[in-house]
Amino acid sequence: MKTLSFFIIALLCLSFSCSSKERNNMENKTIVRIETTYGKIDIMLYDETPAHRDNFIKLINEGFYEDLLFHRVINDFMIQGGDPKSKNASSEMQLGSGGPGYTLPAEIHPHLFHRKGALAAARLGDNVNPERESSGSQFYIVHGTVFDDVQLDELETRLNNQRKQQFSSKFFRDLEKEYIDDGKEPDYKEISEKMNKMVTEHLSENDLFKFSAVQREVYTTEGGTPHLDGFYTVFGETIDGFDVIDKIATVETDNSSRPFSPVKMKIKLISQP
């Protein structure tokens, strides 16, 4: 059976994120530190994603992440780790499918988006994971790149076209099934007309994806990976160690995006309310 890996798909497939003032005030915040081969990364975990926050803390306290690798690194995109199989893994071993034996329900919030330094959960693709449940242990930290408004406009259009296509496919299958269940030959012209009407009604102007003013400000200044918004659970953000993310993101990798020189991690809890 083919091994499935938890990974981040570069999909061409929102309110506000923490303000600078909020990020500078770390009282009553959960802070974790990822010690790596290249330095330390401090991350604040979000209270809005309690299942992911609490699970991450549990695994840290159990020593789960001790000496695991950042096994998938893509410059201008993200750095990924958390596969328990990566501990003491040979250079030939395929990584990316390991975990603690469970997944987590998605906790996707529009105001928690993929700015540079965002901490998010890896997961299996939509084709086998339509509920977008997260890996129980694998995560990625956004490296990303800076976008301009024209690029963000294009992403909005592509994302909305993709959403329309997804709903079209679903409605088409449902309508076709109705004919088959009734023992009738599908009338594809009628199905197509009904499908288009259903998509139009379902995706009103207010339902279409649109980057918020805050997202645009962040993505055109700090950068990030906006095409992942709404598809993966973001459950924290970097507050210190952006230079370390840059260093890891630019290491030399093989054809599987695995660093030639192992990038190890140790994670510990720094503060908790």
At 234, which amino acid appears?
Answer: V
The token pair at 58 is 């549990």
User: Strand pairing partners for 81?
Assistant: 70, 139
- Nearest Cα neighbor of 248 from 32, 69, 10 is 69
Read off the pLDDT of each residue in 102-127 and give the average, rounded to a whole number.
96
Count of C-beta atoms within a 10 Å radius of residue 116:
23
Whether the per-residue pLDDT at 237 is higher than 70: the answer is: yes
Q: What's residue 159's pLDDT?
A: 86
pTM of the predicted model as reported, rounded to 2 decimal places = 0.86
Q: What percent of the chain has pLDDT over 70?
A: 90
Please write the tens of the pLDDT for every residue from 46-87.
999 999 999 999 999 999 999 999 999 999 999 999 999 999
The token pair at 83 is 């596969």
Q: What's residue 254's pLDDT?
A: 97
